[in-house]
């Protein structure tokens, strides 16, 4: 459903990603790992159309989307939860969700079922909820758009362990859905490897590993080499 072929992309004159290949079947899962600053967020932004693509092709659902505007990609079914949470502070939780709605199986009730915290906070403004609830709302907003592909950029970052557990539960629910393809960018290595059977590792804008998550997990030397000490220290989570 999603295929990147030889993607070289960046911002203005700066090239960040070089020759990135990637493919994901419908309903597929992919974890994206790599040290800070290697281009993980740039990869997500490239898929949604927020970078300058210099070479290569992106196909989604059989169509080339390489030159398509962001809003068109979103309409085509690419849901994006950026690393900076995407919430309107002056709107209530319910309003935030309703304005993101597009026809499909996901609706307000469905999102509240996956994120009961949000149901309890439906009349609170975006500013009045916790960081964890903002993250849930950001994901809820993406789901309201009824995507067939969901991009999650470090959703656990900066959240308390109890909230991380709740988010993990909700991700399991989403994964069980089966129709929704998910790309998860994660700093917490084991969490990412648990989530998805397939992983890619980026290093300085290039794909340096693409394969079974289990292979990476069982090769600690390779993992240390690709992800480094920072990754290893976070591997416990």
Binder among 7, 33, 42, 136 for ligand ADP (CB under 6 A): 42
Tokens representing 198? 């397939």
Is 39 near ligand ADP (CB under 6 A)? yes
Number of residue whose CB is nearest Mg ion: 41
Least gap, CB of 188 to ligand ADP (angstroms): 14
Residue 73 binds to ligand ADP (criterion: CB under 6 A): no
Q: Which stretch binds ligand ADP (CB under 6 A): 35-43, 55-63, 109-117, 129-137?
A: 35-43
CA distance 97 to 147: 14
Name which of residues 41 to 60 contact Mg ion (CB under 5 A): 41
**Is residue 34 involved in binding ligand ADP (CB under 6 A)?**
yes
CB nearer ligand ADP, residue 101 or residue 210: 210
User: Distance between CA 138 and CA 87 in Å, rounded?
Assistant: 6
* Residue 160 tokens, joined: 């308390």
Q: Which is nearer to Mg ion, 40 or 121 (CB)?
A: 40
Q: Does 40 help bind ligand ADP (rule: CB under 6 A)?
A: yes
Task: Compare residues 43 and 136 and give the one whose CB is closer to ligand ADP.
Answer: 43
Query: What is the rounded CA–CA span in Å between residue 18 and residue 179?
Result: 30
Residue 169: partners with Cβ closer than 8 Å, 6 or more residues away: none
Strands 206-212 and 198-203: antiparallel
Matching residue, tokens 């059977």: 197
Exposed / middle / buried, residue 193 (Cβ in 10 Å: 0-12, 13-18, 19+): buried
Q: Which is nearer to Mg ion, 40 or 73 (CB)?
A: 40
Nearest distance from residue 5's CB to ligand ADP, in Å?
Answer: 20
Q: Please list, in sequence order, all residues whose beta carbon lies within 8 angstroms of the beta carbon of residue 71, skipping any fewer than 6 positions away.
A: none
Q: How far is the CB of 44 from Mg ion (least distance, A)?
A: 8
- Nearest Cα residue to 149 out of 23, 56, 10, 237: 23
Q: Name the residues that contact Mg ion, by CB under 5 A.
A: 40-41, 83
Q: Name the residues that contact ligand ADP, by CB under 6 A.
A: 11, 14, 16, 34, 36-42
């Amino acid at each position: 459903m999603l295929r990147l072929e030889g993607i070289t992309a960046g911002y203005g004159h700066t090239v960040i990603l070089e020759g990135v290949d990637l493919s994901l079947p419908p309903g597929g899962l992919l974890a994206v790992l790599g040290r800070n600053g290697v281009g993980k967020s740039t990869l997500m932004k490239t898929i949604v159309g927020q970078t300058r693509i210099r070479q290569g092709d992106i196909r989604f659902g059989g169509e080339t989307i390489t030159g398509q505007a962001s809003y068109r990609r979103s309409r085509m079914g690419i849901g994006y939860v950026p690393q900076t949470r995407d919430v309107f502070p002056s709107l209530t939780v319910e309003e935030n969700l309703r304005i993101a709605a597009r026809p499909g199986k996901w609706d307000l009730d469905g999102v509240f079922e996956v994120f009961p915290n949000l149901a309890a906070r439906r009349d609170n403004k975006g500013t009045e909820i916790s960081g964890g609830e903002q993250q849930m709302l950001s994901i809820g907003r993406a789901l309201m758009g009824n995507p067939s592909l969901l991009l999650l950029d470090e959703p656990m970052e900066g959240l308390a362990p109890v909230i991380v557990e709740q988010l993990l539960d909700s991700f399991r629910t989403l994964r069980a859905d089966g129709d929704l393809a998910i790309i998860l960018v994660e700093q917490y290595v084991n969490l990412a490897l648990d989530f998805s059977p397939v992983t890619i590792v980026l290093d300085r804008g290039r794909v340096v590993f693409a394969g079974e998550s289990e292979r990476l997990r069982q090769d600690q030397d390779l993992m240390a080499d690709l992800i480094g000490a920072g990754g290893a220290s976070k591997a416990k989570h």
